[in-house]
């Protein structure tokens, strides 16, 4: 299974989790079957590419997305590609993976998506 974490760098399992999935410079993908870790640059539309992040990650075989938080619309978009989203990730990639494996991250169903992402934030 391929698990994806939005990251700030290309340090693999030591990489820092990026809080805003769409603005992440890189995505770190772990193949839980082989233990292989690879880091891909974010070439989605946020970064000048063409695909939206869910489409881009789907094309890379991602099945699980771990992130800090995600708006409802984005979660629905990931789900439409068959990618399950879990929220509450932080720290390093290995921390996020460990939290996911031990059931500490929450599935991003409608109840626990970040409401703040649906309002206009001040970063734009």
Tell the burial category of 114 from Cβ atoms under 10 Å away from its Cβ (0-12, 13-18, 19+): middle
Render pLDDT for 49-89 as a digit per residue (tens, 0 to 9).
667 889 889 999 999 999 999 888 889 999 999 999 999 99
Render pLDDT for 16-50 as a digit per residue (tens, 0 to 9).
999 888 789 999 999 999 999 999 998 876 666 66
The predicted model scores a pTM of 0.83
**CATH 3.30.420.130, applies to 2-118:** yes
The token duo for 102 is 């031990």
Q: How far is CA 46 from CA 39, 51, 90, in A?
A: 17, 9, 21
pLDDT for 71: 85
pLDDT for 43: 82
The dihedral built from the CA positions of residue 20, 15, 9 and 66, taken in this order, carries a sign that is: negative
């Amino acid at each position: 299974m391929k698990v994806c974490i939005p990251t700030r760098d290309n340090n693999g399992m030591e990489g820092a989790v990026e809080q805003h999935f769409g603005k992440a410079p890189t995505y770190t993908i772990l193949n839980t079957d082989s233990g292989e870790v690879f880091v891909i640059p974010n070439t989605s539309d946020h970064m000048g590419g063409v695909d939206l992040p869910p489409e881009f990650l789907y094309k890379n075989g991602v099945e699980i997305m771990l992130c800090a938080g995600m708006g409802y619309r984005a979660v629905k978009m990931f789900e439409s590609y068959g990618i399950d989203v879990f929220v509450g990730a932080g720290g390093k990639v290995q921390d996020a993976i460990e939290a996911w494996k031990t059931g500490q991250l929450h599935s991003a169903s409608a109840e626990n998506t970040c409401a703040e992402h649906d309002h206009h934030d001040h970063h734009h």
